[in-house]
């Protein structure tokens, strides 16, 4: 197969999911998609819960959660005793921001690739504490060395209380060299929070080797867990300082049980999550990763060509292979969040294609995901019809 050929589809993979066959779902990165095997596991757990709620919640639930946490932490190379199951990455980030305890003279440093809800959470906590939120700009296509250099130059020892950085940025699909960034911050004893929402199942990861003070990733995106499943890892010096957002019966147990114990929440997504990892491994995790990365690159190329873009104009074309890619839209198109949302909805309504459209850095970015249920023909269809749709949208 040449670089110009589309990657081969994985036989039968589409049948593993219950997605609408009339829609091209090219936005796995938004909410994931849960395989049928995982849906059935979760339904059995729900049936068990509803058959005897008192027994489900009152007998052995903590042990089941701990066992699940250890399984998922092992998958990610994280210390199980330093990890906690949480609903999602943004919930964990709010938890960390509450626990760090900022002072008025301090600041939180982010990049301009930060997820919107994360930036909002940082700004809210800074307003409450009197601290400052500051952003460092990282150009699209910056090399790892350039990224580390820009972040290192932006750090203010004695003032920067926390650095928040993505491992894979949602809006730009940029892969950040987090291990090197953590090392640079460590030179000044500045704690680092890694937002790894898209990492589990997308990239091989050894959380312990990254060395961040805080690392959190969703398993309900690329690791095929039910929605509401993420893993937070906290370095040893910080564990006693974690202050749960909600006080429940295991508050006195401390981290991680104090974070995981939340009364009558639905624990079935967490307990079913190992089935997602098992399904991923059964299909062949490396094969899945290679397929998704190749298909995302193919989709980026064919849609980019349809919009008149050269390979060098496509961010990430020469970077690490991941299952998400972005395509810059024509200048003046989708430059604000409302415009981006309107364009995404127009593409869905007119072309029956689900994508992500983000306004970033004064320009609209179309983000395409690739998963085993996708086919090259879906990207070809988008490439064929998108130019006319964009031209009509601009008028």
Give the predicted TM-score (pTM) of the model: 0.96
pLDDT digits (tens, 9 = 90+) for 4-17: 678 888 888 999 99
**By the 8 A CB rule, do 389 and 333 touch?**
no
Contacts of 221 (CB under 8 A, 6+ apart): 28, 29, 31, 32, 197, 198, 200, 201, 202
Q: Which two tokens stand for residue 199?
A: 């990492």
Q: What pLDDT shows up at residue 316?
A: 84
> Which residues of the chain carry a pLDDT beneath 70?
1-4, 319, 395
pLDDT of residue 167: 98
- pLDDT computed for residue 10 by the predictor: 82
Phi, psi of 148 (to 5 degrees): -60, -40
Predicted local confidence at residue 8, as pLDDT:
83
The pLDDT of residue 12 is: 85
pLDDT, one tens digit per residue, over 36-67 is 999 999 999 999 999 999 999 999 999 999 99
What is the pLDDT, as a whole number, of residue 241? 96
Among candidates 126, 198, 124, which has minimal Cα distance to 161?
Answer: 126
Tokens of 133: 């939120």
Per-residue confidence (pLDDT) for residue 238, from 0 to 100:
97
Neighbours of 395 (CB within 10 A): 4
- List the end-to-end C-alpha distance of the chain, in Å, as a whole number: 41
Pairing label, strands 230-234, 214-218 = antiparallel
């Amino acid at each position: 197969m040449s670089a110009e050929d589309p990657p081969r589809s994985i036989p039968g993979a589409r049948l593993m999911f219950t997605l609408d066959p009339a829609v091209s779902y090219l936005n796995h990165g938004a909410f994931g998609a849960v395989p049928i095997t995982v849906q059935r596991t979760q339904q059995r757990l729900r049936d068990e819960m509803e058959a005897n709620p008192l027994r489900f919640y009152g007998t052995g639930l903590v042990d089941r959660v701990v066992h699940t946490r250890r399984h998922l932490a092992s998958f990610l190379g994280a210390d199980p005793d330093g990890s906690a199951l949480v609903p999602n990455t943004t919930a964990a980030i709010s938890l960390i921001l509450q626990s760090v305890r900022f002072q008025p003279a301090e600041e939180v440093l982010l990049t301009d690739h930060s997820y919107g809800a994360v930036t909002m959470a940082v700004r809210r906590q800074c307003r409450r504490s009197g601290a400052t939120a500051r952003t460092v700009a990282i150009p699209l296509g910056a090399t790892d060395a350039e990224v580390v250099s820009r972040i290192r130059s932006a750090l203010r020892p004695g003032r920067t209380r926390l650095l928040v950085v993505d491992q894979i940025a949602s809006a730009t699909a940029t892969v950040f060299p987090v291990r090197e960034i953590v090392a640079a911050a460590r030179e000044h004893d500045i704690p680092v929070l890694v937002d790894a929402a898209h990492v589990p199942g997308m990239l091989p990861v050894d959380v312990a080797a990254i060395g961040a003070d805080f690392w959190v990733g969703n398993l309900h995106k690329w690791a095929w867990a039910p929605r509401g499943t993420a893993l937070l890892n906290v370095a040893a010096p910080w564990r006693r300082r974690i202050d749960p957002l909600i006080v429940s019966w295991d508050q006195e147990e401390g981290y991680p049980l104090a974070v995981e114990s939340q009364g009558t929440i639905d624990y079935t997504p967490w307990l079913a999550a190992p089935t997602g990892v098992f399904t991923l491994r059964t299909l062949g995790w490396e094969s899945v990763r290679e397929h998704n990365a190749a298909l995302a690159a193919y989709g980026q190329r064919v849609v980019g060509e349809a919009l008149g873009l050269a390979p060098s104009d496509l961010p990430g074309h020469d970077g690490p292979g991941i299952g998400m890619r972005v395509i810059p839209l024509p200048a003046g198109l989708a430059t604000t969040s409302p415009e981006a949302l309107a364009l995404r909805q127009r593409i869905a309504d007119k072309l029956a294609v689900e994508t992500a459209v983000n306004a970033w850095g004064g320009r609209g970015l179309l983000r395409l995901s690739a998963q085993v249920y996708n086919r090259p023909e879906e990207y070809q269809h988008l490439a064929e019809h998108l130019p006319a749709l964009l031209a009509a949208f601009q008028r």
